[in-house]
Amino acid sequence: MTRKHIIITGGAQGIGRVMTEEFLKNDYNVSVFDIDSEAMEEIRPHFDKRHCEFFITDVSNQVSVRSSIRASLKKFDAVYGLINNAVFAIFKPMSELTLEEWNRAISTNLTGTFLCSKFLIPYLKESTGCIINMCSTRAFQSEPDTESYSASKGGIYALTHSMAISLGPDIRVNCISPGWIDVSAIKKSSKAKPEKLTREDHAQHPAGRVGNPLDIARMALFLLDPANSFITGQNFIVDGGMTRKMIYV
């Protein structure tokens, strides 16, 4: 069986790292685009270099994106899927949020999604491939002090359905909106700090638990499957039911 090639941005930590692991287990070749060289070097020895390669990439910089795409295609030839997962998140009062911080969130989360998709269009058309953008439930509801993150994710939601119309039928485009996914331990060793989840943390979810990255990886694998080629332009909320829950104080 020929292994299909997937590019995932932000694939060295958190949800991205677990997706990388699951794609490899499911017989994909994976190119990881990530700006954190420390995180990539830490996990590199744990992955089969025949099927997984790492590329230092700033997704907000088109020169960096194009360079990594060229290198990844040289390694694995054709590409079937792109997972736009790279993220920058900062939560602080809007009055204290600097323009530099705002711009970094928008350029990494939203512009990065645009750039990686834009430069991969010709190759994804050839493979009748698909794009999965990582949105968030924060695109639709908020906690305080999340303006830059929420705005970028709202943009990703709109960009997804726009791309699906523009790029179909050659390329399918969908997005996934995770809720509370515990990634506290799935980081480079200098940042990993497992969170102690309480019974109350789990119980507040209609599904009965806080999410884990495998929940998102399984959704991505479902959307990558060519058998699901009738699905495009959609947003899939994976949040244990929290966005459907009425909460009264």
| Segment 31-72, tens digit of pLDDT | 999 999 999 999 999 999 999 999 999 999 999 999 999 999
- Residue 193: CB partners within 8 Å, gap ≥ 6? 184, 185, 187
Task: Indicate the average pLDDT of the chain.
Answer: 96
From start to end of 85-212, where are the E strands?
130-134, 172-178
pLDDT of residue 1: 65
| Radius of gyration for the chain, computed over Cα atoms and rounded to the nearest angstrom | 18
Closest CA to 76 of 49, 57, 56, 58: 49
Give the pLDDT confidence of 191-223 residue by residue, as tens digits: 898 999 999 999 999 999 999 999 999 999 999
Helix (H/G/I), strand (E/B), else coil: 9: strand
d(CA 53, CA 50): 8
Closest CA to 11 of 132, 179, 160, 163: 132
Residues identified as active-site:
149
Give the pLDDT confidence of 133-189 residue by residue, as tens digits: 999 999 999 999 999 999 999 999 999 999 999 999 999 999 999 999 999 999 998
The structural domains of the chain, with segments of one domain joined by +, span 4-244
Fold of 4-244: Rossmann fold (3.40.50)
Tokens of 131: 């794009």
Give the model's confidence band at 2: pLDDT under 50 very low, under 70 low, under 90 confident, else very high.
Answer: confident
